Structure 1
């Protein structure tokens, strides 16, 4: 069954079909026994970064279609840190019109807020690296894809306010607007290299087709990351010298980067960041430092090889499993990453994304279920997005 389009002025039936049944029944009961003006407090159970825009825009459209007023009081600006249980916003309006909207507006709030928080944390861990949102292929449809791209833009902007480079774009055109771009970023997948038969030939094909674009080459297909990187740089030495070339490391976790093994991985880090290996705290952190896949040692080894061959202006793009914890390890190892490609800011624990709403006022009388009295306190002034 396909997902219906975003609700519009003629789609109350669509809203009813996708909302929880008890909200629909509440709407019917309230319509029979008399409406009330209510205020909802909307909050989350964990710390997040405020990302309410999708909720606000959707509710505004629905209110206009229903010819009703929904007052939206934001307690936190977009991109602002919000503590667990601290209301993100209050909604005030007709109980009849608000009662059946809760399911859908909560869906549009929780995931973006948690993903924005994770994106913000990653960017702060590697403030000198740019980030690309490569979440699309991990999303459950276009609506989630929109939420995650929006979240990355919010978290990235919050990190930029603290001096980080943040997210500079995403992987597709449809969500590029969140980053102030008209097109998505990306050059080649592994499939193109398999089709071309060699990494160099794939780079040639790309450059012949897109001669005016910078060239980022994926180099792990044949397991010759160092050899193929240098071969591509030599083939396109003018691009390499002008800083218009990058090498993307995406080595999977089943093997080491070319030329590395556990002993050599330790040796690489000892040459560049001798203290890093002595500070690890878990097996996961050790794997990020000297293990298989795109480890800190792998990134340092690639930088060594490029610099030794005279390609110091060639940038390194690192992808594969980059979440908050891996970014933290890379920061401690001072890994020379120019750009991080990540879809891992999507929350690993989906239950953390659940937003919650409770009515705290009926016709001006404060009333909330036992245990949620903290929602009655309205701190701060109304905020703008």
Structure 2
């Protein structure tokens, strides 16, 4: 049985048949009547990705064990490797009758994970000195997707770590914390706790009284007083602030500016710290990330100014709200003083980009694939030592 948890662990034939495409089920019936062959599948995506195949291969091996199949899984890339568009990630060889009805589910488990891993990788490389916290769960369509996205972020983060980035340090849920080598999720308070407490300070006090050994990260935007409320909490807990055990989380709504800012003052903040950034923006979206409403680079710089001026240089800034690949790039260009980014925006924006594809490239060892997909054939070495695609003549 696969070690993949939840719904994705389904390996019994009736459940697989109900979830796969009808033409695969019918093909399985036909092959059962006319005779089995040993085939090789190539699985690939049409865009560059980061290899994140383990959830898919774990499930496949689980099904093979239940069915008693003798299969070979040839992974062309290590987990976390960069993969070019159209390059086969995995070759799977085994009984056509045993594999044909698995294609739909295999592709579901491969494409989205690889694209999300690529997004996470790019985000971490864009802000290499920032730690990332995966907060994808609330944006997922059930636990199977949540598990896949958390796994993908961990793979992309580790790939970025190999290139010097700090990467993803964890996630917000206990169930997926193991992907980051942790036993529990991270997090302190939602906006709801502040509403319940009646003030940002009282919510912080309640949290600290309940969890005195935990670091304190306080949301500051509930009442629109990010600076005022953040400093009030710092003054209430000066020991935590001085010890670096405290952070303020900026999650300002995109419909308003951070406390004390407006367009003119936002420009002024950027000019004080990174005057060149405002002259390098290339789109209205980038300009909004720099000086617009919500959690902009100007908002982050203004918060850092206020904390430092008040004598709290060790208090961390945790930024959230729409931190995808593009926003991370803008923040890097603005050298925004972020300590941690909380984000689920590695989830692909365009779901059509996540579509993986599979083609059979050999039947009983004879190379054969539909016209136009010859690039999927296994590469072999000719006498000159140069790689070429296999053909029927090689059988």
Question: Helix, strand or coil: the match of 2:379?
Answer: coil
In 2, Cα distance between equivalents of 1:254 and 1:142? 31
Displacement over 6 Å in runs of 4+: none
Change (3 A) 1:317 1:96: same
Residue pair 1:257, 1:293 contacting (<8 A) in 2 also: yes
1:366 pairs with 2:373: no
Residue pair 1:216, 1:247 contacting (<8 A) in 2 also: yes
Q: Match for residue 384 of structure 2? A: none
In 2, Cα distance between equivalents of 1:265 and 1:124? 26
Question: Helix, strand or coil: the match of 1:99?
Answer: helix
Residue pair 1:8, 1:65 contacting (<8 A) in 2 also: no
TM (norm. structure 2) is: 0.94
In 1, Cα distance between equivalents of 2:350 and 2:206? 40
In 2, Cα distance between equivalents of 1:379 and 1:104? 30
Matches within 5 A, 1:219-368: 219-368=220-369
Q: CA deviation at 1:378?
A: 3.0
Q: Deviations for 1:219-264, whole angstroms, at most 9, x for unmatched residues?
A: 0000000000000000001000000000000001000000000000
Q: Deviations for 1:74-119, whole angstroms, at most 9, x for unmatched residues?
A: 0000000000000001000000000000001111110000000000
Residue pair 1:59, 1:70 contacting (<8 A) in 2 also: no
Residue pair 2:8, 2:144 contacting (<8 A) in 1 also: no
1:111 pairs with 2:140: no
In 1, Cα distance between equivalents of 2:7 and 2:294? 40
Change (3 A) 1:28 1:253: same
Change (3 A) 1:315 1:59: same
Q: CA deviation at 1:8?
A: 4.9
Residue pair 1:256, 1:291 contacting (<8 A) in 2 also: yes
Q: Match for residue 50 of structure 1? A: 51
Matches within 5 A, 1:21-32: 21-32=22-33
Change (3 A) 1:105 1:63: same
Question: Helix, strand or coil: the match of 1:108?
Answer: helix
In 2, Cα distance between equivalents of 1:176 and 1:142? 13
1:126 pairs with 2:127: yes
Residue pair 1:7, 1:14 contacting (<8 A) in 2 also: no
Root-mean-square deviation (CA, aligned residues, Å) is 1.2
Q: Match for residue 72 of structure 1? A: 73
In 1, Cα distance between equivalents of 2:190 and 2:140? 18
Question: Helix, strand or coil: the match of 1:109?
Answer: helix
Give the paired residue count.
377
In 2, Cα distance between equivalents of 1:156 and 1:337? 17
Question: Helix, strand or coil: the match of 1:38?
Answer: strand
Q: CA deviation at 1:70?
A: 1.5
In 2, Cα distance between equivalents of 1:272 and 1:38? 61
In 1, Cα distance between equivalents of 2:46 and 2:70? 28
Return the structure number with greater relative CO, CA threshold 8 A, min gap 6.
1
Q: Deviations for 1:30-54, whole angstroms, at most 9, x for unmatched residues?
A: 0000000000010000000000000
Residue pair 2:7, 2:144 contacting (<8 A) in 1 also: no
Instruction: List gaps (5 residues or longer) in structure 2.
Output: 1-5, 382-386, 388-395
Q: Match for residue 391 of structure 2? A: none
In 2, Cα distance between equivalents of 1:8 and 1:116? 24
Q: CA deviation at 1:6?
A: 3.8
In 2, Cα distance between equivalents of 1:29 and 1:65? 22
Residue pair 1:75, 1:379 contacting (<8 A) in 2 also: no
Q: CA deviation at 1:379?
A: 7.2
Q: CA deviation at 1:69?
A: 1.1
Q: Match for residue 143 of structure 1? A: 144
Residue pair 1:129, 1:165 contacting (<8 A) in 2 also: yes
In 2, Cα distance between equivalents of 1:132 and 1:291? 24
In 2, Cα distance between equivalents of 1:223 and 1:93? 60
Q: Match for residue 14 of structure 2? A: 13
